[in-house]
Amino acid sequence: MAFAASVLSFMLENLQKPVILTGAQVPIHALWNDGRENLLGALLMAGQYIIPEVCLFFQNQLFRGNRATKVDNRRFAAFCSPNLPPLATVGVDITINRELVRKASSKDRLVVCSCMERDVGLLRLFPGIPASLVRAFLQPPLKGVVMETFGSGNGPTKPDLLQELQAAAERGLVIVNCTHCLQGTVTSDYASGTALAGAGVISGFDMTSEAALAKLSYVLGQPGLSLDDRKKLLAQDLRGEMTLPAVDECWSSLQGSTLSRAVSWLLRLSISQEAEALRDALIPSLALAAAHSGDLEALQALEELGSGLSLEDPIGQTLLRVAAQRGHAGVVAMLLQRGVDVNARDQDGLSPLLLAVRGRHRGVTGLLRAAGACLSPQELEDAGTELCRLASRADSEGLRVWWQAGADLGQPGYDGRSALHIVEAAGNPEVTDLLQSLEGAVGAQARGPEVLPGV
C-alpha cells in the first residue's frame, strides 16, 4: 500500500483533491477488525478537508502517501511516517497539521502520467557483498536502481565495488542512495558516503525505499529529458517525498545583495540595549552565511560591529570550517590572519583541512598547512583506502591534494596494498611517476606557501 501511494503521488500531477488509500489488518467482515474505522476515517478526511495530496489513512492517522512505510504486520498501527509527522490525527478532535499540507500548485487540469519506467530495481548492500553480484545486478535492461546503504548513506569502499558502481553510472544507469534505517537522511559525513557520491550515486536524502523506487520510475519514464535533467529532478523535492538540507537553503537565501542589506541594516541600528541584543542574536548567523558565500566585505563589516571571528554554533560549525569546505581562499586567509583556531573540529571530529581536501580546494589546503593545520590520527585512519580508491581511478588531482595535506601516500589500504601498488598493477605509468615523485618529496612542499596573502 505504501508503494501504491508513492506511485500515485507521482502519477497524479496538478492534484486538487485528496486521494486517500486505506485498508485493514483484519478483514472488514470479521467481528473484531480495524477495517470499518479505517474506512470511516478515510471517508471523513476525503470529504471534509482540502488536502490535495495522495495520502494513506491507518489507525486514526493520515500520512503523506510517499512518506509512509509498513512497519508491523500484526498490530493495527501497521504504518508510520518516519521522517514526517502525520498530516492529520483523528481522536476526540481532528488535528490537521496545516503547515505540512502541500498547497495545490496550480489550477491546471489533472494529468495522469502513465509513462512509468518498469526497468528499475532495489539493491540492498551488506558487508562483504561481492562486486560480481553487484555487476550482475546492474546489467541491462536495468535503467535505474535504488541502493539501500548503511546508516547515513555509507557502504563498502572496496575499489572493485566502487568501480562497478562508477562504470554503471558512466553508461547511464541512474543509482539513488537511500539509507536502510527507518529514520534519518543520507549525508556525506563519512568517507564511504563521499566515495559513493564520487562514483556517481545520487543522494536520496530521507526518502523511503518505496518513494525512491516510485520517483525513479516516474523520472525515467518522462520523455524528452537528458540524463542530467533526470538527475536534477531526482535531487529535487517533487511531491513532498523528501526533506532537502535546510542549512543550504537558509544560507543561499542570505547570499549576495540580501546579505549585504542585512549587514547594512545592522550597522544603522541605534545604540540601545534592545539593538545590542538584536545584533548579538543575528551576527552569528550572518557571519556563517558570509563565510558560506565568500563575502569578505560582509565579514569585515560584522567584525567592525565587534563580532569575534571565532564563532562556533551548537554543532561546532566555525567560520573557518564553512569557508574551507566551500573553497573560499580569501575568507580563509582573513580568518587565519585574525588568529582563529586552524585545527578546530566539529562534533563529528572533522577539521577544516579535511573538508578542504574532500572539496579538492588546493589553494585553501595550502593556506591551512602554512598556518600549521594537520590531519588528526582519526582522520588519517582510512586515508590509505581513500588513496587506493583515487589511484584506481587514476585521479591525480585527488592524490595531489591529499599529499599537500600531509598524508603519507604509501599508507596501505584495507587489503594491505598502497596506492602505488594499485597503479602499478593497473599499468598506469603517468600516475605511477606522480606517486613516486610525491612519495620522495613528502614534507618537502606539503606545507604550502609560507606567507598568507593580505586581506
Give the tens place of pLDDT for each residue, 284-321: 778 888 888 888 888 887 777 666 677 776 666 788 98
CATH number at residue 16: 3.40.50.1170
User: Is residue 79 domain-shared with residue 120, that is, in the same domain?
Assistant: no
What pLDDT score does 442 carry? Answer: 41
pLDDT digits (tens, 9 = 90+) for 242-254: 998 754 444 444 4
User: Is residue 130 domain-shared with residue 78, that is, in the same domain?
Assistant: no
What share of the chain in percent tops pLDDT 70?
86
Q: Which of 143-147, 150-154, 300-304, 389-393 has the highest mean pLDDT?
A: 143-147
Average pLDDT over every residue of 175-201: 91
Domain boundary residue among 220, 240, 260?
A: 240
Domain boundary residue among 206, 240, 274?
A: 240
In whole numbers, what is the pLDDT of the chain averaged over residues?
A: 86
What pLDDT score does 445 carry? Answer: 40
User: Is residue 61 domain-shared with residue 122, that is, in the same domain?
Assistant: no
User: Is residue 185 domain-shared with residue 77, that is, in the same domain?
Assistant: no
Over 90: is that where the pLDDT of 45 sits? yes
Residue 244 vs residue 85, higher pLDDT: 85
330 inside domain: no
HSE-up (13 A, CA, CB side) for residue 159: 22
User: Is residue 25 domain-shared with residue 138, that is, in the same domain?
Assistant: no
Q: Rounded distance, CA 165 to CA 129, Å? A: 13
pTM of the model: 0.58
Q: Is 185:155 a contact under the CB 8 Å cutoff? A: no
Over 90: is that where the pLDDT of 78 sits? yes
Domain boundary residue among 210, 240, 270?
A: 240
pLDDT band at 364 (very low <50, low <70, confident <90, very high): very high
First to last CA, the chain: 60
pLDDT digits (tens, 9 = 90+) for 208-232: 999 999 999 999 999 999 999 999 9
What pLDDT score does 262 carry? Answer: 59
Over 50: is that where the pLDDT of 10 sits? yes
Over 80: is that where the pLDDT of 274 sits? no
298 inside domain: no
What pLDDT score does 444 carry? Answer: 35
Q: Rounded distance, CA 87 to CA 98, Å? A: 7
pLDDT band at 52 (very low <50, low <70, confident <90, very high): very high
User: Is residue 89 domain-shared with residue 119, that is, in the same domain?
Assistant: no
224 inside domain: yes
7 inside domain: yes
Domain count, the chain: 3
Q: Is 95:85 a contact under the CB 8 Å cutoff? A: no
345 inside domain: no
205 inside domain: yes
**Domain enclosing residue 407, as ranges:** 382-449
User: Is residue 120 domain-shared with residue 216, that is, in the same domain?
Assistant: yes
221 inside domain: yes
User: Is residue 123 domain-shared with residue 85, that is, in the same domain?
Assistant: no
